[in-house]
Amino acid sequence: MTPTAQKSLRQFVLITGMSGSGKGSVLKAFEDLGFYCVDNLPVDLIPKFVESSSQAGSRIERAAMVVDIREGGALNQFPSLYRKLVRNRNLSLVYLEASDKALVRRFDETRRPHPLGRDIPVQEVLRQERKLLRSMRQLADVVIDTTRMNVHELRDTIQLRFGGARERKNMLLSVVSFGFRFGVPSDADLVFDVRFLPNPNYVPRLKDKTGQDPAVRRFMDSYPQTKEFVSRVMSLLLYLLPHYLREGKSYLTIAFGCTGGRHRSVGLAERVSAALASENYKTKLIHRDIGRA
């Protein structure tokens, strides 16, 4: 095998993103996949590391490296450096992000200071960090929002995307119900508006119940458009999901919205989530606004 062919077999992944978004957990997931892992590698050493690892005889076949805000001013060099490296290497850039609310909560739970300083309010520090990382996010070919992910779901996402597994049962589908009055979920990939269905909220005996209640389900099922909608949505999803998977999509958020996120969207999300699970897809059901007034 020629040196050029040797180089083409090497796989390099650069991991970046917001502090508190899960980069450490992702690096551990890559380590479990057999990657040689390096945390906080100085920017100017990245080309040298990639070059030496690409040489014939190198024992490093796959490597994952974290580079983030801890680099300080040297981070400005990264965009041009990455563009040069990606031309001739099997190189991916993974960017992790999460909502400000989730990041603030994680910093409160761990009691660790933000790398940009402990004397500035966390919300302001996060704003600065997003601005500094904007160009890196634009370069990323994989962006993962970890707002609603736990450590295990994040690990599964990395293993599916980079571990070679392509069984559809491993694709993580988050099925979310929500109320339009509280805003559309920012991480939704597909949004279905179910406000065309009759509203149980206007039936006195159902008003204080939710879409999880059998009485509400019976009310919804009494209208033929409910079953027809589920049938048509499932046909669409079963067509789309294999295509998303082939394109490297390892997780997808499917959102159903009604006015308040308590009756119709909850019932439809429950039903579609169960139908997808019966098709051997891995699903996670989230009722975002079910407890809101």
Taken in order 151, 157, 158, 159, the sign of the CA dihedral is positive
SS3 256: strand
- The answer to whether 18 and 103 are in contact (CB under 8 A) is yes
Please tell me the CATH code under which domain 3-162 is placed.
3.40.50.300
The pLDDT of residue 242 is: 82
The pLDDT of residue 165 is: 44
- Per-residue pLDDT 10s for the chain (293 aa) are 334 434 445 889 999 999 999 999 999 999 988 899 999 889 989 999 998 888 888 888 899 999 998 888 888 889 999 998 888 788 999 999 999 999 989 888 877 778 887 677 888 889 999 999 999 999 998 999 999 888 888 888 888 788 754 444 567 899 999 999 999 998 899 999 999 999 999 999 999 999 999 999 999 999 999 999 999 999 999 999 988 877 767 789 999 999 999 999 999 999 999 999 998 888 999 999 999 86
Q: Where are the domains of the chain?
A: 3-162, 168-287
The pLDDT of residue 164 is: 57
